[in-house]
Amino acid sequence: MSIDRRKMIVLGAAGAAATIHSPLLRAAAAAAQRGSSAAGDELPAREASWYKKLDEGRVECELCPQACKVADMERGMCGVRENRGGTYYTLVHSLACSIHTDPIEKKPLFHVLPGEKAFSFSTAGCNVECKFCQNWELSQFRPEQVQAYNLPPERLVAAARRNGARLTAATYGEPVVFWEYVRDVAIAANAVGVKPTVVSNGFIKEKALREVLPSLSAIKVDLKSFRDEFYRKQVRGELEPVLKSLQVIKEIGVWLEIVVLLVPTLNDSAAEVSDLCTWVRAKLGPDVPVHFTRFHPTYRLTDLPPTPVASLERAWKIGRDAGLNYVYLGNVPGHPGENTTCPRCGEILIRRVGYQILSNRLVNGSCPDCQRSIPGVWS
């Protein structure tokens, strides 16, 4: 039997977590091994929540700034929304193609229930095309091209609880393209005390963002660069809508963390990092954590080396010098940049190696030495 990498994502997820919540995932693994899929030629479809009808059976998507105008029988850039006779449908609601129980640190959300598990899920599709996408085998494919199976919100949340996960995380691919599923999972999770979180590129229209944000406990946004040119050439998106999303998230008050993947020569200049940190400090405040993470060559960007640690450390310093209280480094296990430090007394509060918590000295969300309150979702 030959299995390609896209099938292996489900198999891998299933295998890794089988001892934790076996019934659901064994079913997924079995389906993958059979080579069958819920995503056949005739995908289950639900009418999309954010679009408007145009003339002659066309529709305009109002979910993300791509604002695709889509003719009958065609799909938007995300590949997961289809116009069928003048009605726009999402093809991925409840159609999970990857699930896994991860530590919340993997998202990374360092100020959200440290050490807790996040029941993580994704569908196929994405509304941009990052040349350096780490999850391109999910995000850059259409739902019928990956192994997937039906996992309605209530079942997803039940699986999370069976696994002892206090959080859900819409992640791996791009939750914006399955925003209705994100919304409904959040509603189901909140109903039973599980905290819903999202890992997103933030490339979403304000109305759709505002409608779902109040249901979320935390969101991590990938700010891929502080230059619009980078967004257009490397991401096929735009910077401005992402900055707008960050401000809306801050305004609504949902816990926010930012990740910046530093790609050598493309977005790692001191000037750009400085501009980014200065903007975050001015517009979002000093307490929004910013994670600078290490790039590894993949997908269409295989001709660049991994980010030098020196570049990461330079960004770390620039961020702190700009007045940001919580600057982290990622994909460099064991580096002191993984730790949470009290901005007042300088003591280490949470010590991490990779995704593992070595110690957590927070007491009721405060530094035990100087009692400074540390912002985050701690309970």
Partner 1 sequence: MTRLTRRELALMLGAGALAGTAEGSTWKSSMRPGVVGLAEARAALGKPLGLETARLAMARALAASVGAESGVEAAAALFSPRDVVGIKVNCLAGKVLSPRVELVEALVDLIAEAGVDRGRIIVFERSNRELQRAGFTIRESGLPYRCIGTNNDYDRDPSTSGAIGSCFARMVSTTCSALVSFGVVKDHDLSGVSAGMKNWYGVIHNPNKYHDNGCDPYIADVARHPFIRNKLRLTVLDGAIAQCHGGPAYRQSGVFELGMVAASTDPVAADLWAWQEIESERARRGMPTLEAAGRPVRFLASAAKAGLGVDDPEKLLMVTA
What are the distances in angstroms from CA 48 to CA 59, 74, 139, 150? 11, 14, 19, 18
Three-state DSSP class for residue 302: coil
Task: Give the one residue of 141, 203, 226, 231 binding partner 1; rule: CB under 8 A.
Answer: 141
CA atoms of 9 and 341, how far apart (whole Å): 36
Cβ proximity to partner 1: between 127 and 245 the closer is 127
Q: How far is the CB of 69 from partner 1 (least distance, A)?
A: 7
Cβ proximity to partner 1: between 7 and 291 the closer is 7
Q: Is 331 in contact with 361 (CB distance < 8 Å)?
A: no
Cβ proximity to partner 1: between 86 and 152 the closer is 86
CA atoms of 141 and 37, how far apart (whole Å): 15
Q: Is 75 in the site for partner 1 (CB under 8 A)?
A: yes
Q: How far is the CB of 41 from partner 1 (least distance, A)?
A: 4
Q: Is 58 in the site for partner 1 (CB under 8 A)?
A: yes
Cβ proximity to partner 1: between 79 and 173 the closer is 79
Would you give the binding string for partner 1 spanning residues 23-42, x where CB under 8 A is met?
Answer: ------------------xx
CA atoms of 311 and 314, how far apart (whole Å): 5
Q: Is 101 in contact with 145 (CB distance < 8 Å)?
A: no
Strand order in the sheet with 348-353: 340-341, 348-353, 356-360
Cβ count within 10 A of residue 71? 13
Q: Which two tokens stand for residue 221?
A: 């946004």
Q: Is 125 in contact with 139 (CB distance < 8 Å)?
A: yes
Q: How far is the CB of 144 from partner 1 (least distance, A)?
A: 7
Q: Which stretch binds partner 1 (CB under 8 A): 67-75, 190-198, 261-269, 289-297?
A: 67-75
| Interacting positions 5-24 with partner 1 (CB under 8 A) | 5
Q: Is 271 in the site for partner 1 (CB under 8 A)?
A: no
Three-state DSSP class for residue 322: coil
Q: Is 68 in the site for partner 1 (CB under 8 A)?
A: yes
Q: How far is the CB of 40 from partner 1 (least distance, A)?
A: 9
Helix/strand/coil percentages in the chain, nearest 5: 35, 25, 45
Residue type, 311: S
Q: Which stretch binds partner 1 (CB under 8 A): 133-141, 163-171, 345-353, 365-373?
A: 133-141
Q: Which stretch binds partner 1 (CB under 8 A): 61-69, 192-200, 212-220, 251-259?
A: 61-69
Three-state DSSP class for residue 182: helix
Cβ count within 10 A of residue 52? 9
Q: Which stretch binds partner 1 (CB under 8 A): 135-143, 250-258, 327-335, 336-344?
A: 135-143
Residue type, 208: A
Q: Is 294 in contact with 312 (CB distance < 8 Å)?
A: yes
Q: Is 296 in the site for partner 1 (CB under 8 A)?
A: no
CA atoms of 143 and 38, how far apart (whole Å): 10
Q: Is 281 in contact with 322 (CB distance < 8 Å)?
A: yes
Q: How far is the CB of 78 from partner 1 (least distance, A)?
A: 7
Q: Is 369 in the site for partner 1 (CB under 8 A)?
A: no
Cβ proximity to partner 1: between 68 and 332 the closer is 68
Q: How far is the CB of 140 from partner 1 (least distance, A)?
A: 6
Cβ proximity to partner 1: between 147 and 200 the closer is 147
Q: How far is the CB of 166 from partner 1 (least distance, A)?
A: 36
User: Distance of alpha carbon 2 from its chain centroid, rounded?
Assistant: 30
Interacting residues toward partner 1 by CB under 8 A: 4-5, 41-42, 56-58, 66, 68-69, 71-79, 129, 131, 136, 140-142, 144-145, 236, 299-300
